[in-house]
Structure formats: C-alpha cells, structure tokens
A and B are shown apart, each in its own frame.
Chain A
Amino acid sequence: MYFDVDGKQVFATTGGKPFDKDRPAVLFLHGSGLDHTFWGLHSRFFAFRNYAVLVPDLPGHTNSEGPALTSIEAMADWLNDVVVALDARDISLVAHSQGCLMALEFASRYPGHVRSISFVASGLATPVNDVLLDAAENNPDAAIAMMLGWGFGSAGQLHQGPIPGNSMVAGGRKVMRGNTPTALVTDLKACNAYDNGKQAAAKIACPVQVIVAGKDRMVPARATAELIEHLNEPVVTVIAKSGHMLPQEAPDQCRSLLQAFIFSNNPAT
C-alpha cells in the first residue's frame, strides 16, 4: 500500500492482509540497498496470524519516494512519522543489519509503543570499509557484488533458496541494482557514521532478542558481541551455518525464533 509521510509517498507491503491499526503490529526493517521483498518469507506469516504487518521501503528505495535519508537518526525519526501516520500501536520491531541501527535509535527515541525488538545479523555499530564505500559511490555493480558475495553464505552463492526455483542472490542483485546510484551509497554512509548505539541500547527497556548468523562476514563478531553486551537481557540464538542474509538463507529457523519471541512478548488474539 501507499501512504503519505511528510508529503512524500511511502510504499509498504502488509503481508497480504489490510493493515489493521487495532491489532498488535509487526514492523519489519530492511538493510542497506534492499527493500520490502527481503522479508517476504516472514511478513505474510505474521499477517495471517492476526498481526498488523508493515514492511516499508525506506525513502528512495524501490517504491518509496526519495531522497534516501542520510543518517540513522533521520531514519528513526522518519519511522516514527510512519508509525504516527498509520496509528500503529503495540509494535514488535524486526530488523536486519542497517535496520537494526534504525530500530535501536527509534526505540530509544520513541519507546512508547514498542513491545519487543528482534535484531537479526546486527552489531552495535556497522562500520563500512573504504573499499565498499568507494565502490558504492563510483561503481555500484561492484559494490553490490561485494555485498552479495560477503552477505550470502555458500547456499546463496550456489543460487539455492528456500522457494523452489528462486535464486536468492540473483533476486537480491535485481533489487539492489534498482536502488542505485544513490540509495545504496547513502545507506552505507549512514551506517558508517552511526555511533550512538551504546547510548541508544542503554535506553531500551522492552524485551529484545538477537539472532546471530554464524557465518556473518558483513558484521564483525566483535560488533555483535558489543550489541549483546549493551542490551538488557537479550535472548540470543546463533544460526551456525547462515551468512549475513539470514532471513533469506535460513527463513524457517528465523521465522520460528521470531514466532516464539513475538507470540510470547506481544501476543495477538
């Protein structure tokens, strides 16, 4: 569906059911250069189990009007505008990579309606190396190749995927190509500049879970350890064989973990 935020069109999928503001909400946040389709194997599941599901494209990504936002803090404020525009309440945030930084910042700034947060493949910060930043600016195809090459584990490189006939890595490339030349590099710069994770984590009081990709080459293990250390009693699970793109590489395991955590902390009747 499309709706207006600050006079600009925002696109979000709702998992195949109309967004019902009176139900507990699950709000999925995608990572750098990606879009709503990243969460396709999770969003529909919750929508058909009595949750109001929202998976927005960030400004300047795929179907949402630009420009892309230049800082994690601005993304958190924009997310609050989305929540206000839709009158969403009792929100479970489910976030991947860059989306996790957004979730940290949003929940610390606007804690009122957040019932739980699920961090997937994340660190307390996400520094981006200069080679990738330079490629994103000057040679987006090379940057996409790096991110997908590092992002997917061996299953992704072999074009396997949980949906019969679908190639995760090729599908990801199509989405990311659509989000160049500006959205990808803007996202990466925003991630690289974000340094408020420690302070934001300290303000989060709701239940949190961290799902760790055992073969994550995008987020250093040290950064994930710092996130876990600074959150308040997180439920931590490691999916040993998955790479950074865990929600796509191991969707059934990821969905089961999200289901158990969200059903318990933000039940929908």
Chain B
Amino acid sequence: MSRFLNFDTLSLHAGQTVDPEHGARAAPIYQTTSYVFPDTDTASSIFNLERGGHAYSRITNPTVGVLEQRIAALEDGSAAVCTSSGMAATFCAIIAILSQGDHIVASTQMYGGNISLMKNTLPRFGITTSFVDPTDTDGFRNAIQDNTKLIYGELIGNPGLDILDLEAIAKIGSDHHVPFMVDATFNTPYLCRCFDYGANMTIHSVTKWMGGHGAAIGGVVVDGGNFDWGATDKYPTITEPYAPFSGINLWEEFGPSAFATRIRAEAMRDIGPSMSPMNAFLLLQGIETLSLRMDKHLSNTMELLDYLSDHEQVSWVNHPSLPSHSSHDLARKYLPKGAGSIVSFGVEGGREAGKAFIENVELASHLANVGDAKTLIIHPATTTHSRIDADALAAAGITEDMVRLSVGLEDVTDIKADFENGFRAAKRLAKL
C-alpha cells in the first residue's frame, strides 16, 4: 500500500493488526482486566508513558484500541479515546481542559443531556456556560469572555436540526485561541469530517449511527490535533507539567495528540468511564457497514420527507434537506451527501394527536434513542428534553406537537404503511 486508503476501506480495516497467533480475521475480544509485563523495566516504562502498551483495561484495551484507531482514521484525527457512553465522552473532554472558573459557549440546540450537563452539573464545579442560538454565528463571538475555554455545539442540532456554520465558528475560536468541539453524532464522519472545516475535537455517541444496531452504548472523543495549545497560557492542563506522570508536559511530548493523552492519563485513570471490550467489538461490526447504512438512511429519509410533506395529517416537516429549512444552504455546504436521518414533524391536532400517532404505529419503535437500524420515534417535550425548562425548550425549537423521527433501514413502503395507521388514529381523535 503506498497511498492513503479510502473511507470504506478504513471502515473495514483501520486500526486492526490481524491476530498474529491464530490469524483471526475479526478483531479479537480481549476480555481481560490486565496484562502480563515481560519485565519490570517494560512495566515501569508503560506506566511512565515512555512507550505504548497496555497495563489495565480501564485505561487501554486492545479491542477498544482497534475501535479508537478506526474512528481516528475515519475522522482524520490524530487520536481517539473511547468511553462508556457519549455523555462520558463529553464530560471527559470538557474536564480535560476546563477547571473551576472557566466558561463554555455552547449552542442552545443540543441533546438534553448535554444541556443538562452544562446548565445543572458543571456549574456545581464552577464551570459556567453561555448558550447561543446556533443560527446566530455572531452570537458565539459576542458570548466569548476572558475565561472562555471552549466553544461547543452539535453540527446537526437536536432536535431542531439547525446546522452550525463550522468554518465561521472555527474562525471565531481561532481568533480567540479557544478550541471548537463538535458533537458529530448525527452526521458521522461519512457525512462530514468536521476537522476539514476547522473544528478541533469531535465527540460521538457511537451508540447511534456509528454502531447502528442499538446493541451497545459507547462514546468517543477524537483529537483533531490541529489546535495550538502552546500559543496561549490558557490551557495549563495541556501545557504545564502534570504531576502524576513525573511532571510530564503533554503538549511538548505528544504534540498533536496532547489533548487525547490528557483524557487518557487523567479521566480514564482517575474517573474510569471505560468502554467494555465486548461493546467495542459490537461497535466495530457496525462501523464496517457505516457508509452502506448511511446511504440507505438518507434515501429512506428523502422518500419519507416527500411523503410527510404531502400528508394532510402533518402540519409541518423539518429537515435541513428541505429548501424551506433555515439551514438548507449550510446543509448543502457541509453535508453534501445528505443532512442526516433525523426528521421532526408536527401531527395535525397538537399534543394529543401526536400522542395518538406514536401509540398507534407498530413498526416504528417508541423509544429514547436515534441512529438505530430500526425506525424510532419519540415525543421530545415529554421525554429526551423533559428535564430542561420551558425557556430552554423554546430555545431548542421544541414544540408540544413535535414528533422526532429517526429513519431506519426498513423497506420505506412498510414505514409509510405503518405511519398511515398512526395518522388514521390521530385523525379519528380529531373527529371526536
């Protein structure tokens, strides 16, 4: 091989060395807590970050390592660290560079867990957040304070589906020496590689489209390796000596993977939200078919957008692929293959009609997840976003009649037929 490999090839092969002992083609599941050291010098040098290697599966594991390197390859990141969930990834990434007294500028349109983390949990540790409408790019610049250490957003906002202007926001971050972290769960690297547009780190809940099967929870932080931590003294966790590892200076020693190394050396060691080897194996099986699945997600989504847009029981439909969407131009720029497979729509008749729709479909599963191979629906105002207040609900673009649809891989004719049952029930309710 003498050239860079393409996306589909990396999805199948990146990060894996074929098992030298038995020749196993699939990545083996290293279901072990710990690893036998050949001698004391090797042991001490692994612990002292002098060399690569595994010591304890809370920190690294060979099966998890394959997944990490595969995702780093797909994202064109310098390094990746997998975690037990997407929320763990977000938390670990934030605490790697922020401490008491620091500040985040974040989008209002994010998964409810992210909003709750920044609005309720992080303030307990002295980290505050200013929330900004993702369509108001200047708002990000205006919200930056002297103590701002991070800009955070979801490329495709949840559930309003507004698209972040990656290049413009990355420029704001660069102007202020503030890194730009993007939750890229909804797009996956197949639809958009955020580092190509100036983002500095990405977060994924790999539970979703990356895995695709809904069988394993997991998260990942990917280090873009493109932020100059040394250009400012604002990030001492990266650029100052780190006492637990003999005063190592991560920026000096690890350069483009300094941020990922901090997560590994601190969060995985001191907090321990590690991914299990079994989950890593399951997620690897999903990633092997990522592009095939995403193409089918997108084609089904386009067919359902036509169907819903023409349906008399649907009061409105929201998706960035629709010319009526406020982010349509940004979607065409950053997501040329398609703007993901989440659709939100309103059922004619309001909250009760929406409830009737959800309770009368059978193929579509009513549950709190997205990005499964199976079609999923939910009512965000009473579930995923129920723990945020009315103002935040409004800021996130969530209405009482909103149904969030995660389009699956079923035959789209069957999805439509299933929805007809739901719409008939909603219509019957309206006639009562």
Contact = CB atoms under 8 A, between A and B. Distances in A.
Interface of A: 13, 15-17, 35-37, 40-41, 43-45, 48, 62-63, 145, 148-150, 154-155, 157-167, 169-171, 173-175, 177, 217, 251-252, 255
A63 B255 CA distance: 10
B340 interface: no
Interface string B42-79: 00010011111110000011101100111011001111
> Which range holds the interface residue count of chain B?
35 or more
Interface of B: 1-5, 10, 13-17, 45, 48-54, 60-62, 64-65, 68-70, 72-73, 76-82, 224-226, 230, 245-249, 252-257, 260, 264
5 contacts: A16-B246, A36-B252, A165-B81, A167-B73, A174-B225
A157 B1 contact: yes
A161 B52 contact: yes
A165 B79 contact: yes
Contact of A44 (B2, B50, B224, B264): B50
Contact of A175 (B64, B246, B256): B256
Contact of B52 (A148, A150, A164): A164
A210 to B, nearest CB: 23
B4 A149 contact: yes
B208 to A, nearest CB: 20
B77 A167 contact: yes
Contacts of B68: 164-165
Contacts of B54: 164
A158 B14 contact: yes
Contacts of B4: 145, 148-149, 157, 169
Contacts of A13: 249, 252-253
Given A158-B14, A159-B15, A163-B52, 5 more contacts: A35-B255, A148-B4, A158-B73, A164-B264, A166-B79
Contact of B73 (A16, A36, A164, A170): A170
Nearest to A252: B51
Nearest to A177: B226
Nearest to A39: B253
A150 B2 contact: yes
A163 B252 CA distance: 16
A175 B76 CA distance: 13
Which 10 pairs show the lowest CB-CB distances between chains A and B? A37-B255, A162-B52, A159-B73, A165-B68, A174-B225, A164-B65, A174-B256, A164-B60, A163-B52, A171-B78
B50 A170 contact: no
Contact of A166 (B5, B45, B82, B257): B257
Contact of B69 (A148, A157, A166, A174): A166
Contacts of B77: 167, 170
B256 A171 contact: yes
A158 B73 CA distance: 8
B296 to A, nearest CB: 26
A251 B52 contact: yes
B76 A170 contact: yes
A158 B16 contact: yes
A37 B10 CA distance: 25
